[in-house]
């Protein structure tokens, strides 16, 4: 089973038993999640932007306006930290202290690469559309030259990566087990609803 090499930054120290470095597990989380948060620093001040992402092999892609300020900082060499989280449940314990959540998360460190090859850019943007609805890239009008010029696609190689996962029920103290308080897990489920079709103009 292939795993990411642990680094000082990706080695999970608190809650180490929840750490996961398996590439297949990481990829599954990245592919299921619809949103990520990309962060960096500029002159010692934090920058952060939520955005949609998609993956092709060991490349994670994001896209935005060609005038995107965060992208500009990243492409000038600043390192990015990217976080992806799936919330799976709210964990109710018998004590307030032991309440928690079940989750699957991925943390990525890396440097951005501008996707300037026309074929890779077009292919990757098609993959973005396909992530949301299979076959959609064949139905929609492809981006024209002006739209492609206005759009930047940047890629990060999945190299310095870790996942952290919590599953299961509450972990109550032994002395709390007989308290007259219910405990359990309330699942959090993200579902896609039925498409609300727009009538033709």
Please give the average per-residue pLDDT across 22-41, as a whole number.
97
Q: Per-residue pLDDT averaged across 35-43, rounded?
A: 95
Q: What is the mean pLDDT of residues 93-110?
A: 97
Confidence bin at 1 (pLDDT 50/70/90) = low
Q: Model confidence over 115-155: pLDDT tens digits?
A: 999 999 999 999 999 999 999 999 999 999 999 999 999 99
Of all residues in the chain, the percent with pLDDT exceeding 90 is 91
Instruction: Mention the CATH class of domain 16-169.
Output: mainly beta
pLDDT at residue 178 greater than cutoff 70? yes
Give the mean model confidence (pLDDT) for residues 12-18: 87
The Cα 106–Cα 165 span in angstroms is 9
Q: Give the tokens for residue 7.
A: 């680094």
């Amino acid at each position: 089973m292939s795993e990411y090499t642990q680094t000082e930054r990706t080695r999970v120290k608190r809650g180490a038993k929840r750490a996961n470095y398996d590439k297949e597990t990481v990829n599954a989380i990245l592919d299921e999640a619809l949103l990520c948060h990309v962060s960096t620093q500029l002159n010692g001040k934090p920058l952060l932007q939520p955005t949609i992402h998609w993956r092709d092999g060991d490349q994670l892609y994001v896209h935005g306006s060609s005038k995107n300020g965060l992208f500009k900082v990243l492409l000038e060499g600043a390192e990015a930290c990217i976080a992806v989280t799936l919330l799976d449940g709210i964990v109710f314990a018998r004590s307030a202290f032991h309440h928690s959540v079940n989750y699957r998360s991925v943390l990525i460190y890396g440097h951005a690469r501008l996707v300037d090859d026309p074929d890779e850019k077009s292919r990757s943007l098609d993959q973005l559309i396909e992530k949301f609805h299979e076959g959609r890239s064949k139905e929609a009008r492809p981006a024209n030259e002006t739209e492609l010029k206005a759009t930047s696609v940047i890629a990060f190689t999945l190299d310095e990566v870790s996942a952290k996962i919590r599953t299961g029920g509450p972990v109550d103290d032994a002395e709390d087990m007989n308290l007259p308080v219910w405990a359990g897990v309330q699942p959090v489920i993200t579902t896609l609803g039925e498409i609300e079709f727009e009538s033709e103009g």
